[in-house]
Structure 1
Amino acid sequence: MPDGAPADTVTQLRRDLAAAYRLIAHFGMDDGIYTHISARLPDGPGGEKRFLLNPYGLRFDEVTAANLVTVDETGAVVDDPYGAGVNAAGFTIHSAVHMARHDAVCVLHTHTVAGVAVSSIKEGLLPLNQWSAQFFNRIAFHDYEGIALNLEERERIVADLGEKQVMLLRNHGTLLLGRSVAEAVKLALNLERSCKAQVAALGMGQTPIVLPDDVAEHTAGQYQKMYDKMEGAGGKDPEWDAFLRMLETAAPGYKG
């Protein structure tokens, strides 16, 4: 997002981010008051980097466009409408990614049962179906170092992530980057159902059919073209629009 973006652009970003929190809660992918979804704001008047984050202590289903907190790259609070501050330690991962990856408007981190399960096995996500083939050769890995309180870990996270948009944090959870909030949410939802399908398939006690590499790569490329088109200038995103319509009924207060 360019510096000096118009107010309506910032308003839309806040609404999209609030929608992301509500959607992750709606699909049961939140973890109490923990984990975060962050979004990059336009730079401040002095060039300072600024991001939106959830107020500490609120559940994801309580986040609104109005109560999102503005923080700088260290997690220090710049603007706090709700007055509860943020979990600065929880912003460690997000700040590292935002500062290194300027293509990432949104960074989304989850601790779901399925995501943690798949992150806890050596093989990671297998190309067992069309959903998981989307991520073939497109997942980075970062080994667990304990709760992410050490700022020195940020460099290792960034190095392990490279240019990818998806990371399995070993024994911990998942990390998704989006060129928009919509892209980050869709990647998270698709990764989650891929992980659920893998847990279910391997739990059947039968022999899983792993897609051939060429088929998996072809499928991943098809997904990538679709995402690139929607993220392109003026690209329409009917899937995101459908999610927002759902929230008008399921959580209409998110815009407030």
Structure 2
Amino acid sequence: MVAPGDVQATPVRQRVSEAEWKLRVDLAACYRLMDMFGMTDMIYNHISARLADEPEHLLINAYGLHYSEITASNLHKINHDGEIVERGDTHYGINHAGFVIHGAIHASRRDVQCVIHTHTRAGIAVSAMEEGLLPLSLHAIRFTGNVGYHDCEGTVVDLSERERIVRDLGAKDLLVLRNHGLLTCGASIPETFNTMYMLEQACRVQVDVMAAGAQVRLASQDAQAATAHLFKPSVRRPYGVMEWEALTRLLDRQDPSYRS
């Protein structure tokens, strides 16, 4: 176990497997993309990813770095209790209180590799609406039947809340944390990012529509069911995987330092 604050002399790149390094690069890219598309909240929130060959271990950001500063090397490897087992190349530790949510989902959902949690303006706004996410756009109706809701219990620091978070998420890929924010999870980093990006767009559209004050027209039940079916990973393709190549090319043109 690595002691808090210790930065090891040997660089992370030389201490980890090729599989872990690839996951680190993808996770760092995800952090940078979240910042690029305006889904950050200063140094808060997390994106976590489970290692395929070490399912008891996760990668997560150091608490104190902005998403635009995340690199493959400064991510920490932790266990499901939030203890650092492989320190990244940074003196910052992790936000143990904020890990309550991520730890709960990774421990209970073995089908999930990645979890993203946000505090965006539009996401919090929709989380505070009694109606929740409305079928106002294709961004939203693709998630029909796949959204859970968790009532606000204040700052998520009580370990007992884990049980209720897991219960309210169930087998779904999206969770609206009432008066708090959004959460998505998925079988890979690219898929989870795609889900969060589309959920965020759905929330922004909903806030715009509600603010306009016009009479709202909801998509029909048939349209919702048909769209949600087509967006299931097993029907056409796992959305986010093909898109990931274009997104990482975009990152590489702008700032490839996330790979370091």
TM over 0.5: yes
- 2:70 matched to 1:63? yes
- 2:60 matched to 1:53? yes
For 1:216-231, what aligned pairs fall within 5 Å after superposition? 216-225=224-233, 229-230=237-238
Between Structure 1 and Structure 2, how many residues are aligned? Answer: 244
Structure 1 residue 225 displacement after superposition: 4.2
What's the counterpart of residue 43 of structure 2? 33
For 1:153-164, what aligned pairs fall within 5 Å after superposition? 153-164=161-172
SS at match of 1:89: coil
In structure 2, the gaps of 5 or more residues are: 1-15
Structure 1 residue 54 displacement after superposition: 0.3
Distance in 2 (alpha carbons) for counterparts of 1:85 and 1:77? 8
SS at match of 2:78: strand
The one-letter amino acid of 1:254's match is Y
What's the counterpart of residue 258 of structure 2? 254
For 1:101-250, what aligned pairs fall within 5 Å after superposition? 101-225=109-233, 229-230=237-238, 237-250=241-254
SS at match of 2:231: helix
What's the counterpart of residue 3 of structure 1? none
In structure 1, the gaps of 5 or more residues are: 1-5
Distance in 1 (alpha carbons) for counterparts of 2:211 and 2:234? 32
Change in Cα spacing, 1:43 to 1:226, as seen in structure 2 (3 Å) is closer
Q: Which moved more, 1:75-84 or 1:206-215?
A: 75-84
SS at match of 1:49: strand
The one-letter amino acid of 1:181's match is I
User: Alpha-carbon deviations, 1:175-215, whole Å to 9, x = none?
Assistant: 10010000110000000010000110111111011011111
Distance in 1 (alpha carbons) for counterparts of 2:47 and 2:78? 13
- Cα RMSD of the aligned pairs, angstroms, is 1.7
Contact 1:50 1:71 in 2 (8 A): yes
